[in-house]
Amino acid sequence: MTDPQRPARLPSALALLAGLMLLALPLSIIVVRAGIWQPGLLLYALACLLATILAILCALLGALPRYRPQRKRLLQGLGLALPGTLLLLTMVAGGGDYPAIHDITTDLSDPPTFTHAPTVRGPDSNSLDIKPDTLGAQREAYPQLQTLRSERSATNAYRHALAVAEHMGWEITWQRPEAWQFEAVDTTAIMAFKDDVAVRIRSSANGSVLDLRSVSRVGVSDLGANAKRIGAFLENFEQQRAGQL
């Protein structure tokens, strides 16, 4: 004998679960920001995945005649599951074919080194040691990242680079003006991951040369974040007037 209440209960259960997945999203971000990033990211991914499954179920059930009286409830469930579904689609679409590396530089033969970052990264952070296999993977994945050669003097380029970094919202954590070097921290908007950046400028016969290195503190793959950060900096740097930044 079938349960006549089952068709009515299932849409309500799906809507309830969708609401829980929606609440799990900000909770996962709070967990990550608290420094418990691995469980937080796992919760975030699971919430997005389950929300997508619930959205599909709500849509499929809504198309069945037997659930016509509960379509309003199913639409509510679909609406609650939609944010997680969109986030999952964004992650899948933006994931790309990125190598499992988190240390990117414009100078593969002589990458900039860090002076201040090792004192603040913490014992559980990724190593700042330069690894040949990482350099090889970067060479294949991001051949467009190269040393920037500028007609600016080294001092002028240094000042301009500082202005660019501040314009991009980086926190300047260490400076050595006499050597035209500084370090900064860039914090991601949602999860508040902190990545360290070293900027090194050298004088040349025709002006100056500028190199960067951006390293994530946690995670195996940065999903292209460090390369995008360096690319954005180089593009902004080449704006010739401060007013164009």
In the structure encoding, which two tokens stand for residue 243, read together?
């007013």
In the structure encoding, which two tokens stand for residue 33, read together?
């920001």
Alpha carbon distance 192, 83 (integer Å): 20
Distances from the Cα of 164 to the Cα of 76, 107, 230, 244, angstroms: 46, 20, 12, 10
CB-based burial label for 29 (10 Å; 0-12, 13-18, 19+): middle
3-class SS of residue 195:
strand
Inform me whether the pLDDT recorded for 127 exceeds 50.
yes
Instruction: Kindly state the average pLDDT of the residues 52-64.
Output: 95
Number of other residues whose CB lies within 10 A of the CB of residue 186: 20
Q: Using 50, 70 and 90 to split pLDDT, how confident is the model at 242? A: very low
Phi, psi of 198 (to 5 degrees): -110, 130
Q: Using 50, 70 and 90 to split pLDDT, how confident is the model at 1? A: very low
Give the pLDDT confidence of 8-22 residue by residue, as tens digits. 689 999 999 999 999
In the structure encoding, which two tokens stand for residue 88, read together?
């999952």
Q: Cβ contacts of residue 160 below 8 Å, gap of 6+? A: 152, 237, 242
Place of tokens 């619930």: 54
0.75 exceeded by pTM? yes
Indicate the pairing of strand 194-204 with strand 181-187.
antiparallel
So what's the pLDDT on residue 220?
85
Lowest mean pLDDT among 57-71, 72-86, 93-107, 168-182: 93-107
In three-state form (DSSP H/G/I as H, E/B as E, the rest C), the secondary structure along 112-126 is CCCCCHHHCCCCCCC
Alpha carbon distance 149, 238 (integer Å): 10
Inform me whether the pLDDT recorded for 68 exceeds 70.
yes
3-class SS of residue 200:
strand
Alpha carbon distance 16, 9 (integer Å): 11
User: Is residue 199 within 8 Å of 165, Cβ to Cβ?
Assistant: yes
Inform me whether the pLDDT recorded for 200 exceeds 70.
yes
Enumerate helices (H) and strands (E) in the chain, giving the number of each. Answer: 6, 6
Mean pLDDT of the chain: 91
Place of tokens 């069945």: 64
